[in-house]
Amino acid sequence: MGEKVYELKKIKKKGKGMPLIGDKFPKMEVQTTYGMMKLPKAFKGKWFVLFSHPGDFTPVCTTEFVAFQLRYELFHELNCELIGLSVDQVFAHLKWTEWIAENFDVDIEFPIIADTGKVADLLGLIHPNKGTNTVRAVFIIDPQGIIRAMLYYPQELGRNIDEILRMIEGFQTADEKEVAIPANWPCNEIIGKGLIIPPAADVETAIKRPEKYKCFDWWLCYRNFYKW
């Protein structure tokens, strides 16, 4: 077990391991349906969501792309861009999005990466038991190019796009207010729309917490910063 951990650390140190939460998103130049793009530079100063799908002209992926597009303005309101990816050629992406427009009257306005497999390999998007198809992965990257979250779904389960929006809004609120976000926020079963105050780091702060915030105990305090 110790040897395996050591080997993993060596691989990561050499830059060969897949990126992790808190890492800088790796620099890359990709071909997309909107031309060549350099990531993360193309979205400098913005949040962006890179999401992979198993393949074009597949049923679950089609429902996801429609769902992403129908919420595209909501992502924009959060200063966030979208970019898709699969191991398909660019003409396949173009023909698929054309089919979506013709059949659902939904124009896909965000770029889709036409990956050769290089990006998928770098980001760990290929499951060894699923051939060359990418898994349903989601990377949420902040304006500084830092990976804030990574989600992986199996091929048979479509994503909940509203949860991705909730996560981005949660990250932005946590950063701005220096708080933590409770489960199911903003509809938490204990504190509703409340935001959690970070735990006290010393005795004096712990004692004063109930005087300043609503608390169940000194280590579980919250405040209603947020108006939904």
Q: What positions carry a catalytic annotation?
A: 61
Beta carbons of 60 and 154 less than 8 angstroms apart: no
What is the number of alpha carbons within 13 Å of residue 72 lying toward its C-beta?
14
131, burial (CB in 10 Å: exposed 0-12, middle 13-18, buried 19+): exposed
3-state secondary structure of 142: coil
In this structure, are residues 181 and 173 in contact, taking their beta carbons and an 8 Å threshold?
A: yes
Using CA atoms, how far apart are residues 76 and 206, in angstroms rounded to an integer?
Answer: 39
- What DSSP designation does 81 have? E
Return d(Cα 225, Cα 228) in angstroms, integer.
Answer: 10
- Supply φ then ψ for residue 164, to 5 degrees: -65, -40
Omega before 154 cis (within 30°)?
no
